[in-house]
Amino acid sequence: MNYHLITGGCGFVGRNFVKRLHATTEDTIFFIDDLSVGTHPSTWLPEGIKSRKGNGLEFFGDDERMVFLKADARHFIRNLTQDPDYIIKTYGLPVQGFKDVFHFAAIVGGRAKIDGDPMMVALDLSIDAEFFYWVCKQKPERVLYPSSSAAYPVDLQTESDAIALSESDIDFKNMGQPDMTYGWSKLTGEYLAHIAAKYYDVSVTCIRPFSGYGEDQDLSYPIPAIARRAALKEDPFEVWGTGEQGRDFVHIEDVMDCTLMAMDNIHDGTAINIGSGKLTSFIDIIKIFTSFAGYDPEIKRLLDKPVGVHSRYANMDHVFNDLGWKPKLSLEDGMRRVYDVAVKKYT
C-alpha cells in the first residue's frame, strides 16, 4: 500500500488535499498537525464519518485510509530523520516510506499575523530546514513545497509600479526584497528545494499560489470575512485600507488541480505561479458579494489596518501556454460558493 504524507494537514490547504487524495486515490493519507492553526478533522470531515483511535493515531473513514497524528511537524520529522522506522516502532503502522509528501506545515495567517508577529512567522525557517534535511536523507518519491506569492519583490507590487509577476522575477543571483519574514521564509524554502533537487536528486515541485480562497477558509482571511459581512448585510461595509489594493484570487479547487499537474511535470525544484492572471480590488470583491446579497452599502475604509502591498497578481503565461493548465472556476462562481456557505453559517 502507498502512503502519502501531508504536514499541516488540518490547515485550509492541507485539509482540502487530505479530502482530495482520499477521494481520488486508493492510497493511505497520513497527515499531521499540531492544531495551533488548523482544526481537528472532526470539524471538517463529513458529519458522522467513522473514526477510531489507536496507538496515538486517529483513523477516519470506513477504509481507515485517513490517518491523523496530532504533533509538531518539526518533532515528527526530526524523529523520522533519526530513525526511518519511527512510525512502525511508535505507532505500529507499516509505513516503509512515503510516495508523495505535501509540506503545508507553517506559521500562517492573514495580514494581521504577517505584520503583527513577524518573528513568530520566522519559525517557518526552522520548520522547512528540518523538513528538507529529512527529505534529502530519506528521499520520498515526490515532494511538494508550497512557496507563496509573498516571495516576490515588494518593489514590483506598488501602486505606481505594479506588474503581473512572472516566475523569472525571482532570481537568486539578483535578489529583491520579499514580503516580511513570511516572504523571506518561503524564498529560503524555494532555495532549499533547489538544493535538494540539484545536490541530493530529490524530486521537488514548488508552487507560488497567489490569493487562494474557498468555502472552508477561516475568518482571519479576507474573502470569508467579506462574505460574512455581506451575508449579514453590514452597512456601512468595512474594508481594510482604501480597498483599492488588489490581489489575484484563485479557488482552492483550482489550486489543487494545478499543484497535482505541476507534480507530474516538474521535478527539479522549479516554481510556478498559481493564479488567475487577473488583478481584482477588494472594493470589487465587496461589490460581488453585496450584489449576491442584494444591497448597495456605504463603504467604510479602515485606514489604520495593515494592508500589505498595493497590487499582487500573477503572470500566468508559462502555466497557461507551456503547461496547458487554466482555472476551471470563474471569480464569480467561486465567490458564489463562498457566499452561499456564509449565508448558511451566519444567517
Name the residue among 214, 222, 213 with its Cα closest to residue 241.
Answer: 222
pLDDT tops 90 at residue 128: yes
pLDDT band at 174 (very low <50, low <70, confident <90, very high): confident
Rg (CA), the chain: 20
pLDDT tens digits, one per residue of 4-37: 999 999 999 999 999 999 999 999 999 999 999 8
pLDDT band at 152 (very low <50, low <70, confident <90, very high): very high
How far from 131 is each of 6, 196, 312, CA to CA, in Å? 12, 11, 28
pLDDT at 203: 98
pLDDT band at 160 (very low <50, low <70, confident <90, very high): confident
pLDDT band at 1 (very low <50, low <70, confident <90, very high): confident
Range scoring the smallest mean pLDDT among 109-118, 146-155, 210-219, 253-262 = 109-118
pLDDT tops 80 at residue 49: yes
pLDDT band at 157 (very low <50, low <70, confident <90, very high): confident
pLDDT at 46: 94
Name the residue among 273, 258, 143, 124 with its Cα closest to residue 196.
Answer: 143
Question: Which is more confident, 122 or 334?
Answer: 334
Question: Strands 246-247 and 280-281: what pairing?
Answer: antiparallel
* Grid cell locating 244: 483599492
Name the residue among 230, 223, 226, 221 with its Cα closest to residue 297.
Answer: 230
pLDDT tops 80 at residue 111: no
* Mean pLDDT score, 139-159: 93
With residue 207 as reference, give the H or E element that holds it: strand 204-209
* Mean pLDDT score, 226-243: 95
Question: Strands 249-251 and 246-247: what pairing?
Answer: unpaired
- The C-alpha atoms of residue 119 and residue 194 are separated, in whole angstroms, by 25
The model carries a pTM of 0.94
Question: Which is more confident, 113 or 277?
Answer: 277
Question: Which is more confident, 274 or 174?
Answer: 274
How far from 280 is each of 93, 288, 335, CA to CA, in Å? 47, 11, 12
Q: 124: burial class by Cβ within 10 Å (0-12, 13-18, 19+)? A: buried
pLDDT band at 110 (very low <50, low <70, confident <90, very high): low
pLDDT tops 80 at residue 112: no
At the topology level, CATH places domain 222-247+278-317+329-346 in: UDP-galactose 4-epimerase; domain 1 (3.90.25)
CATH number, span 3-213+252-274: 3.40.50.720
Question: Which is more confident, 178 or 264?
Answer: 264
pLDDT tops 70 at residue 97: yes
Largest CA distance in the chain: 61
pLDDT tens digits, one per residue of 326-340: 999 999 999 999 999
Q: In 34-109, which ranges are E strands?
A: 51-54, 57-60, 66-70, 100-103
Q: 291: burial class by Cβ within 10 Å (0-12, 13-18, 19+)? A: middle
8 A C-beta contact, residue 176 and residue 241: no
pLDDT tops 80 at residue 161: no
Please name the residues in contact with 19: beta carbons below 8 A apart, sequence gap of 6 or more: 44, 45
pLDDT at 73: 95
* Mean pLDDT score, 244-248: 94
Cα(first)–Cα(last) distance of the chain, in Å? 45
Q: Where are the alpha helices (DSSP H) in the chain?
A: 12-24, 73-82, 86-91, 111-116, 118-121, 124-138, 180-200, 222-231, 252-265, 282-293, 317, 331-346
Range scoring the smallest mean pLDDT among 51-65, 75-89, 101-115 = 101-115
Alpha-carbon dihedral sign for residues 53, 57, 61, 65: negative
Range scoring the smallest mean pLDDT among 103-117, 153-167, 192-206 = 103-117
Residue ranges per structural domain of the chain: 3-213+252-274, 222-247+278-317+329-346
- The C-alpha atoms of residue 171 and residue 152 are separated, in whole angstroms, by 10
SS3 state at 211 = strand
pLDDT band at 288 (very low <50, low <70, confident <90, very high): very high
